[in-house]
Structure 1
Amino acid sequence: MSHTRAVRPPRALLAAAVVACAVAAIPLAYLLVRVGAAGIEEVIAVFGRPRVPVLIANTVLLAASVTLTTVAIGVPSAFLLARARLRGRAVWTMLAALPLAVPSYLAAYGWLAALPWMQGFWAAWFVLTLVAVPYVTLPVAAALRAGTTGLDDVARTLGRGPLAAFRLGTWPQIRPAVLAGALLVCLYTLSDFGGVALFRYQVLTTAIQQAYGASFNRDYAAILATLLVLLAVAVVVGEQVARGRAARQFGAVTGPARQRRVRLRRWTVPALALLLVPPALAVAVPVTVLVVRLFEAQTLRAVDAVELGSAVANTVLLSASGAVVAILLALPIGILAARYRGRVVRAVETTGYLALGLPGIVVGLSLVFFSLAVVPVFYQTAFVLAFAYGVLFMPKAIGGIRSATAQVPTSLEDVSRTLGNGRTRTWWFVTARLARPGIAAAALLVTVTAMKELPATLLLRPTGTDTLATELWSRTDVSAYGAAAPYAVVLLMVAAIPAFLLSRARTGEFDEAVP
């Protein structure tokens, strides 16, 4: 049975979602103002530059390659976590989530410290794939746990092989999760700056950062950012079309509510190797290099405990505040997308996702422009930085809230309404309680991502306020690898906490731990 409704959404919910979209559209408004001021002649001139097609091609190639590779690794990894007979399943799930704690520039920094010759497309593809795999693995594993193997068994009794049975029985159940994970990976790759910059691979984000840094040609940067937005729109619309086509083709997949564990037998070693590759290469190698640097005598003497403690406190407080903002903005959009369909709903959801395709510096500059023009009292305050985190990472919260809400049967809400409860009371006491693990997972995902955010933090942080990411970047930017090591290790340790909680939330343990 479908958990969406064809009726019009409540006006209050639609109004709240539109307000959230208006907030998310602040960076787009800034870009429109800049591009409008540049004029059509400047836009044509930018497209006529020979470097621009190269930047677009490099960006599309990297995003497509990373997305396809993460799906190729993430889906079988998720199958192993959810359906295979594994000892220490919770440990394996935690390891699968651990690369989320590693920002691309930290992983790139670790690999460059070990292999200074790493440069270009292959280096960027390698590192971005490693750190982005959990965006596919975790939601697909959750979908597999919530699904059934009964349809696979029926297909096997009809003479289908294991792969054919999986395609007919399980794939329709997990395809929305695969598409959602691939969407996050693609948008993440489009907006990444740190990793590609360290590997000297020229894409739209690096060109935008360079143009804004030069400050004399911000119209050029705004036009390039608009191109990036158009690419993000194409990706989001493509995911919506694919999701809708899957729903029309397969409908709501139901079957016997049963799970059958698969014995790995001779495939045990290759399976465990597959699960170990992303955390080993994304975490173990950089950490090993960092630990070696950390215990160098000169590095240990250079550590300022007060400065390090202040950076940790700022990182935790700002990222947690950004997660609260993101959840508040994403709730109406996620609920609307989960429960209703139509052109207006699709337009609202698309707008909500666009910020994730923007580089942090564009969001940062748009909020500088907005705060100075509308609320100058908040200019260069922690509130604006937390608000920027909320706008940047709201799309990651939307996906989690939408998926969690969609899993709650509408029949339960209908029963609550027949007992005299209003929409708000029904949502709070029925839907929200059942969707709580997914909402908590969305908040944790935003928190761990905000801890790693760099360009917006560099631009919007209050004077004298540093985070672990800015302290790390200021040292890696001048190749002071030894001095950066303490901040890199602590950033990994701090970000690993919400990543660990996220892995528990994905397995359903978090719901049991919350009273």
Structure 2
Amino acid sequence: MTAPAAATHDHAPGRPRGPVRRPVLVATAVLVAAFAALPLGFVVAMTVDTGWSQTLDLVLRPRVGELLANTVLLTVTAVPLSVALGVGGAWLVERTTLWGRRIWSLLLAAPLAVPAFVGSYGWVSAVPSLAGLWSGVLIAVLFYYPLVYIPVAAALSRLDPALEETAASLGLGRWAVFLRVVLPQLRLAALGGAVLVALHLLAEYGAFAMIRFDTFTTAIMVQYQSTFNGTAGTMLAGVLAVLCLGLLAIESLARGRARYARVGSGALARPTRIPLGGYQIAAQAALLALVAAALGLPLWFVLRWTARGWAQTAPDDLVEALSTSFGYGAVTAGVTVAAAFPLAYLAVRQPNPLTRALEASTYVSSAMPGIVIGLALVTVSIRAVPDLYQSATVLVLAYVLLFLPRAAVGLRAGLAQAPVSLEEAARALGAPPAAAFARITLRLTAPASAAGAALVFLAVTNELTATLILAPNGTHTLATEFWARSSEIDYAGAAPYALTMVVLSLPTTYLLFRQSRRAAGRGGRSRSR
């Protein structure tokens, strides 16, 4: 019989069959995308409502110029330094005879497990006078360079060394090979990491507020707390949103259409590692200093303050904050994965300009700082649905907006590994469409869904800015309890909450590191387009 055999072939894009109908999927995806566009719509609407003349008066104030100068100086200083540390650390681990490189590969990624505001807390404990631009650069570089290191190390691990060997055989020295052959192939990974660092810098509140360094986000928070979503704060949020969108546009232009990929599916050859020789000790000392500053010093002071403050921190308070964070994290993880599924499903099974645009909309919203998303949801809830203001529902929706891409990326990869032909084969063997979908597609995407949910869950437990704005009265999470106590200079009382957040973040950081390596391995076997 030929019918069953024919049913096992993938059907053409645009003609979906099965339990999930295209109109339902598209309608759901459009709703999710429209919701994701809410913060951008809020900024535009508030600008129109304020009026062009008043908007110019508010935006062209000297204070805005000062904040813009601080933010730009921070970004143009910290981002290149983060790229240099990330690329340099990745090169030492992946391309040299560095002693203990397996351990160093994990230690260099580990600072990502320390929330930046916890790292700032550790450094302020060590140096109470820490303040100003260069202190902001120090904190930013130490706690955000792993965003460059992880993708660059993954890219380096899959580069075919044949190009480097060919360049060397033509007479190029080691530095020339690195600059002219290796570095261009790392451009996409380094550029992507640099944009992530820049976006985090624009969104960061706690780390810079603790060292008294004014940025747009800290100024918006002060404006919000003093005048409750005043027009001046809204206009600052608009400028910040424009900066974020500008960064995404610059990254897109810089990335261009260049791609670097191997052709063929053969095994990667192992690169010849460069002997460090007399530089071995210097490299070990440099990495030790970096990890000590980014990981050792904050953890030392967190543990030190915890030892002092554990007795004065009521266990019930810590348990309540932990359970609240767990509750919000679990609910948000489930909602976010459910919201991301239609977008990822259409992007993989029905790729076309519409589905790509719907998927891209989620990245625009997540690129905006939590302060902008918080202000948008406060305004919408007060004007449209007053009963939802300061409710758990609004806070969960803010988390979904912030972390939707974390779930979508994993789901996209999982769905790509669950070909529709398997589902059709199950139906050809007699399984009902819904059962075939559940047993094949959902089952094969379960690991990716779980990984995405874990990333969202732990991101929620460490989120501060949107939580401070939107949390219902009487809500205490790990992040807000830490912030409340540290703001009162009660470092001993804040330390147990900081330690709990770090412990919860370590598994996610390791998961992110391992996923990037596996993705690099799969990428090395893909064909170039």
Please, what TM-score do these two structures have when normalized by structure 1? 0.82
Do the aligned residues in 1 keep the contact of 2:87 with 2:148 (CA within 8 Å)? Answer: yes
Instruction: Note closer, same or farther for the CA distance 1:97–1:471 as it changes in structure 2 (3 Å cut).
Output: same
302-311 vs 380-389, which deviates more? Answer: 380-389
Matched with 1:4 is none
CA distance in 1, matches of 2:281, 2:408: 37
Please say if 1:53 is aligned against 2:62.
Answer: no
Query: RMSD value over aligned CA atoms?
Result: 3.8
Q: Which one of the candidate residues 450, 462, 477 is aligned to 2:460? A: 450
CA distance in 2, matches of 1:14, 1:179: 32
Do the aligned residues in 1 keep the contact of 2:382 with 2:389 (CA within 8 Å)? Answer: yes
Do the aligned residues in 2 keep the contact of 1:441 with 1:502 (CA within 8 Å)? Answer: no
Q: How many residues align?
A: 494
Unaligned runs of 5+ in 2: 1-12, 17-21, 429-433, 522-529
Query: What whole-Å deviation, never above 9, does each CA across 1:480-508 have from its counterpart, x for those lacking one?
Result: 11221222222222222322333333344
Unaligned runs of 5+ in 1: 1-6
Matched with 2:325 is 315
Q: Which one of the candidate residues 155, 158, 161 is aligned to 2:173? A: 161
Amino acid at match of 1:461: A
338-347 vs 311-320, which deviates more? Answer: 338-347
CA distance in 1, matches of 2:247, 2:284: 32
Q: Which one of the candidate residues 281, 292, 306 is aligned to 2:316? A: 306
Amino acid at match of 2:63: R
Matched with 1:259 is 270
CA distance in 2, matches of 1:133, 1:446: 21
CA distance in 2, matches of 1:118, 1:96: 24
Matched with 1:288 is 300
Please say if 1:114 is aligned against 2:126.
Answer: yes
Structure 1 position 448, deviation (Å):
3.5
Structure 1 position 9, deviation (Å):
11
Do the aligned residues in 2 keep the contact of 1:444 with 1:502 (CA within 8 Å)? Answer: no
Please say if 1:495 is aligned against 2:501.
Answer: no
Instruction: Note closer, same or farther for the CA distance 1:30–1:20 as it changes in structure 2 (3 Å cut).
Output: same
CA distance in 1, matches of 2:321, 2:486: 16
CA distance in 2, matches of 1:16, 1:36: 29
CA distance in 2, matches of 1:431, 1:158: 52
Instruction: Note closer, same or farther for the CA distance 1:146–1:450 as it changes in structure 2 (3 Å cut).
Output: farther
Please say if 1:366 is aligned against 2:347.
Answer: no
SS across alignment from 2:160: coil
Matched with 2:248 is 236
CA distance in 2, matches of 1:440, 1:506: 16
Amino acid at match of 2:54: E
CA distance in 2, matches of 1:346, 1:232: 20
CA distance in 1, matches of 2:65, 2:352: 35
Q: Which one of the candidate residues 403, 408, 418 is aligned to 1:393? A: 403
Q: Which one of the candidate residues 159, 181, 192 is aligned to 1:180? A: 192
SS across alignment from 1:31: helix
Query: What whole-Å deviation, never above 9, does each CA across 1:87-146 have from its counterpart, x for those lacking one?
Result: 655533332232122222211111112111110011011111111111111122222233
Matched with 1:463 is 473
CA distance in 1, matches of 2:60, 2:184: 44
Do the aligned residues in 2 keep the contact of 1:104 with 1:131 (CA within 8 Å)? Answer: yes
Instruction: Note closer, same or farther for the CA distance 1:48–1:501 as it changes in structure 2 (3 Å cut).
Output: closer
Structure 1 position 62, deviation (Å):
1.2
Do the aligned residues in 2 keep the contact of 1:136 with 1:178 (CA within 8 Å)? Answer: yes
Amino acid at match of 1:66: A
Equivalences for residues 10-21 of structure 1 within 5 A = 18-21=30-33
Do the aligned residues in 2 keep the contact of 1:293 with 1:481 (CA within 8 Å)? Answer: yes
SS across alignment from 2:93: helix
Identity among equivalent positions (%) equals 35
Q: Which one of the candidate residues 56, 66, 70 is aligned to 1:44? A: 56
Please say if 1:211 is aligned against 2:223.
Answer: yes
Please, what TM-score do these two structures have when normalized by structure 2? 0.80
Instruction: Note closer, same or farther for the CA distance 1:314–1:82 as it changes in structure 2 (3 Å cut).
Output: farther
